[in-house]
Amino acid sequence: MIRDHNWKAKQVDSTYIVSIANGAEIVETLTDFCTTQNLFLGYINGIGAVNEATLRFFDPDTKSYQDQTFLEQMEISNLTGNITEMDGNIYLHVHITLGGRNFQCRTGHLQAAVVSGACELFVVELNSRVQRVKNNEIGLNLLRL
């Protein structure tokens, strides 16, 4: 087992089974995990629960993002994303679907979320590197393949 302050993990072949600590911020902790493991390309899938989440929506007409923060207990029904690089740094592109007490879903690009209970992820490492570059016409950071 490998561990740090806010996470612990077990590696099975090219897959890491990661548990993020209660009260930890997911994006920050996942970035720390990838940095610690020198993981520069891969994909993420997970479940869990949070009590605070900031989601982001991209408006292609204005090429800008809208952020909204939700302060309530919510289940993570799906957390999915990829790990690449941009400007020499690890770049996480993560989307999340959350459900609250009223069974309504909230979904979007995950900016930040605080674990409330558990966050269990499978992180699969790919043996390569892929960069992202800003596409000014679209307004997004796209894969350079």
> Number of folded domains in the chain?
1
* Integer Cα distance of 142 and 34 in angstroms: 20
Mean pLDDT split into 10-residue runs, the chain, 145 residues = 96 99 99 98 99 98 96 99 98 99 97 99 98 96 97
Per the CB < 8 A criterion, the answer to whether 97 and 105 are in contact is yes
Judge contact between 144 and 85, C-beta under 8 A: no
Amino acid at residue number 9: A
Rounded Cα distance, 122 and 15, in Å = 7
Q: How many Cβ atoms are within 10 Å of 63's Cβ, its own excluded?
A: 13
Q: Helix H segments across the chain?
A: 26-36
Range of the domain at 12: 2-144
* Predicted confidence (pLDDT) per residue in 94-112, tens digit: 999 999 999 999 999 999 9
Do residues 39 and 123 lie in contact, with contact meaning Cβ atoms separated by under 8 Å? Answer: yes
Give the CATH number of the domain where residue 79 resides: 3.30.1330.80
pLDDT of 121? 99
